[in-house]
Amino acid sequence: MYLEYWRLKEKPFENTPDRRFLYPSENHRDALYKLLYAITGEKGCAMLSGESGCGKTVLVRTVVNELDLNSYEIALINYPFFDRNDFLKEVVHQFGREPGERSRVELFRELSQLFYENVTQGKKNILIIDEAQIIDDPQVFEELRLILNIQLEDRFLINVLLVGQPELREKTMLYPQLDQRIAIKCHLHRFDHENTAKYVAHRLKVAGCEREIFTEEALYLVHKISNGVPRRINNVADLCLLEGATRKLRSVDGEVFKYIV
């Protein structure tokens, strides 16, 4: 609707996990480096936390994209609302096997065999659990601990990446035997004003923008309204572009905010 007016090739502020739009703040670069180290270095378990809308999903996709997928077998669980038995079945399923109606012991045997076969074929096993903060059954955390115990003398046969909102950190601390196995913990913070401005500029550039559209006053207000949360920044900036185009403005300035808030 406003692409032609602002001379953009695509919408810059869509709330989709498109890794092209990942803004490499110092915080995000640090988390990316540490998560890649955890996976490629086979550290066993790592955690990425951050409040909703701070870019966890797109960062995880960037991590996966950095891997040589021919060398990894990756399983992804997006919503771990299972009890312990269904959780194990889902892990088996996500690794490409049919769990059937097997007991916990049989499921663990299946996973052990699967992980070992992949490793002997030169593939590392990665289990990514997104929205891990919604795990309610304490026994699921115990199953995760036991899964991490599937290892050889000199290496883990499975590496786990837990991704979730800040309360995930508090939850895992209630289970010290699991928490001690989380080798690396990363947390994504909200942007300050400077990084909010750079974030807006970065996304506009990726979308094909060749000039500055937002004034300093507008960027200040974007940060103030969004509180530095990327998803909220996207919502506010998108409305600014729409309103600015509708009113035939040359740039997005403070006046625009009278009509969008």
pLDDT tens-digit series, residues 115-143 = 999 999 999 999 999 999 999 999 999 99
The mean of the pLDDT values for the chain is: 95
| Predicted local distance difference test score (pLDDT) of residue 152 | 86
End-to-end CA separation in angstroms for the chain = 20
- Mean pLDDT lowest among 30-39, 55-64, 81-90: 81-90
pLDDT tens-digit series, residues 7-56 = 999 999 999 999 999 999 999 999 999 999 999 999 999 999 999 999 99
**Multiple choice CATH, 26-188, 3.40.1190.20, 3.40.50.300, 3.30.450.20, 3.30.2090.10:** 3.40.50.300
Dihedral sign from CA coordinates of 36, 39, 44, 45: positive
pLDDT tens-digit series, residues 192-237 = 999 999 999 999 999 999 999 999 999 999 999 999 999 999 999 9
Got the DSSP string for the chain? --HHHHT-SS-S---S--GGG----HHHHHHHHHHHHHHHTT-SEEEEEE-TTSSHHHHHHHHHHHS-GGGEEEEEES-----HHHHHHHHHHHTT---TT--HHHHHHHHHHHHHHHHHTT-EEEEEETTGGG---HHHHHHHHHHHT-B-SSSBS-EEEEEE-THHHHHHHT-HHHHTT--EEEEEPPP-HHHHHHHHHHHHHHTT--S--B-HHHHHHHHHHHTT-HHHHHHHHHHHHHHHHHTT-SSB-GGGHHHH-
Query: Tokens in use for 249?
Result: 């403005």
**Alpha-carbon distances, residue 9 vs 126, 173, 209, 230 (angstroms):** 36, 46, 8, 21
